[in-house]
Amino acid sequence: MQPISEVTGASTGIARGDIVELTSIHKSSRMFARTASTLVRQVSRAGTRAYSDAPMAFTFASQSQVFYNKENVRQVDVPSFSGSFGILPSHVPSLAILKPGVLTVFEADGATKKFFVSSGIVSINEGSTVQILAEEAAGVEDLDLASAKDVLSKAHSDANSASSEEAKAEALIAVEVAEELVKAAESR
């Protein structure tokens, strides 16, 4: 390889050793780019969940009603105290506590159903089975916004008039649940 000064006829102040070093760096950067490109393709393929269309047996019930009993669904999104998250087939086994909010079920036929849950527990098991037991639950389409606002107003009133720390704590929990109930009713 000719030094740049010989090619251009100008003095660049770059020595031949610098050119060799730059050429080496250029080759290294091309090799890095090829490696990075290969890794991106592999990660993209790995990120494509081959089992996302696999069935997931889902059971969801409250104290007064069974909504799903071992029915195949595609995904369930749940509100939890550790953050909202989605559950897909072959999800890592875990337990979580539900917080007040909207639970979304993506059914096998493509339909989506939303439910308000006040609290409860979710159990994700090996073999793509999921059970959710809610203290109280209702379809979002069944919620009445005016009634939800009345519940929130009463909860605020109870919190303001609480005579003990225990009563105040219970009332604040009721406020939190009622606020999420209003949000769910507004989202219909």
Give pLDDT tens digits along the chain (188 positions): 434 334 334 444 444 454 445 445 445 555 555 555 555 555 444 444 444 567 899 999 999 999 999 999 999 999 999 999 999 999 999 999 999 999 999 999 999 999 999 999 999 999 999 999 999 999 999 999 999 999 999 999 999 999 999 999 999 999 999 999 999 999 98
Looking up tokens 């102040």 gives 13
Task: For residue 5, give Cα distances in angstroms to 11, 15, 16, 22, 27.
Answer: 5, 9, 10, 15, 22
pTM exceeds 0.85, yes or no: no
Outline where DSSP puts E strands in 21-178. 56-61, 66-78, 85-87, 94-98, 101-107, 112-117, 120-125, 129-134, 137-139
Looking up tokens 């009463």 gives 154
DSSP 133-156: EESSEEEGGG--HHHHHHHHHHHH
Q: Which residues make Cβ contacts (< 8 Å) with residue 50, sequence separation at least 6?
A: none
- The radius of gyration of the chain from alpha carbons, rounded to an integer in Å, stands at 29
Q: Provide the greatest CA pair distance for the chain.
A: 92
Between CA 19 and CA 46 the distance in angstroms is 40
Q: What is the separation of C-alpha 53 from the centre of its chain, rounded to a whole number of angstroms?
A: 18
Task: For residue 159, give Cα distances in angstroms to 111, 143, 153, 176.
Answer: 39, 23, 10, 11
Which pLDDT score is estimated for 52?
Answer: 55
* Nearest partner of 182 among 154, 147, 156, judged by Cα: 147
Which pLDDT score is estimated for 37?
Answer: 56
Between CA 80 and CA 122 the distance in angstroms is 9
